[in-house]
Amino acid sequence: MKKYNMSEIMKAAWRVKRNFCHLPFGECLRRAWERAKFIAQQITVIATKFTNNMTVIADGYTRTLTRWTKGNFDRVYINGGSRRGDGFVDLKSRKANLRGELTYQVKIAEMILAMEF
């Protein structure tokens, strides 16, 4: 499972290079890594009240959460990024059914399980 989004780190390093052209690229890359590590530390799971179609951000990815209830099913879908979405969390069994095991998907699933419904 990837801990950091390498593409975003490289893009951030190039943004730093464009803004501070006197710096060597190695220094720009070091600053981008420091920021990525700082952001990863700052992300904490905060228990909040769930609202339908709410937006959450994890590792720089913005996703919309939608609750679906029908019959015996009670799920929160993680939408955004692709047409199929990132999966869902079953609230009855308290298990995540994700399309992939990327870091941001796991963090969002943990956020959902910590929320009040």
> Could you list the pLDDT tens digit for every one of the 117 residues in the chain?
467 889 999 999 999 999 988 999 999 999 999 888 877 766 544 557 888 999 888 888 889 999 999 999 999 999 987 788 899 999 999 999 998 878 888 889 988 988 888
Count CA within 13 A, CB hemisphere, residue 24.
3
> 2 by DSSP, 3-state: which?
coil
Q: What is the per-residue pLDDT for 35?
A: 86
- Give 82's strand partners: 80
Count CA within 13 A, CB hemisphere, residue 53.
0
Q: What is the per-residue pLDDT for 45?
A: 46
How far apart, in whole angstroms, are the C-alpha atoms of residue 20 and residue 4?
24
Q: What is the per-residue pLDDT for 1?
A: 44
Burial of 96 (0-12, 13-18, 19+ CB in 10 A): buried
Count Cβ atoms below 10 Å from residue 111 Cβ, excluding itself: 24
Q: What is the per-residue pLDDT for 49?
A: 86
In the chain, the largest separation of any two C-alpha atoms, in whole Å, equals 62
Q: Which tens digit of pLDDT belongs to each residue from 37-55?
A: 877 766 544 557 888 999 8
- Give 58's strand partners: 61
